Amino acid sequence: MRLPFRLICLLATLLLLSQNLMAQQPVADGIEMADRLRADGKIWVVVAVIAAVFTGIIIYLIRLDQQLGKLEKEVKENKKQFSL
């Protein structure tokens, strides 16, 4: 019973220490992929694709809201007809 508890404590301590050591590693001068895309002029392609996806999601959500509004209105009208 004591052995698993000690083993778990030892593993937890080692994991916490390793996280601390990894957090202190030096950071590179920049992100190589972003620098390469910026140098090639392709960063604008990435920005355009992200903007297109975001715009598509926004348009989809607006249309979905409009359709739900129509359905809610129909449900209210049907409720009024059946309650009379």
Comparison of pLDDT for 56 and 22, the residue scoring more? 56
The model's pLDDT over 10-47, given as tens digits with 9 standing for 90+, comes to: 888 877 777 666 555 565 666 777 778 778 888 888 89
| Integer CA distances (angstroms), 24 to 19, 21, 27, 30, 49, in order | 9, 5, 9, 17, 35
If you write DSSP's letter for every residue of 20-39 in order, what string do you get?
A: HHHHTSPPPSS-HHHHHHHH
Instruction: Note the pTM of the prediction, 2 decimals.
Output: 0.54
Counted residue by residue, the chain has a size of 84
**Alpha-carbon gap, residue 11 to 5, rounded angstroms:** 10
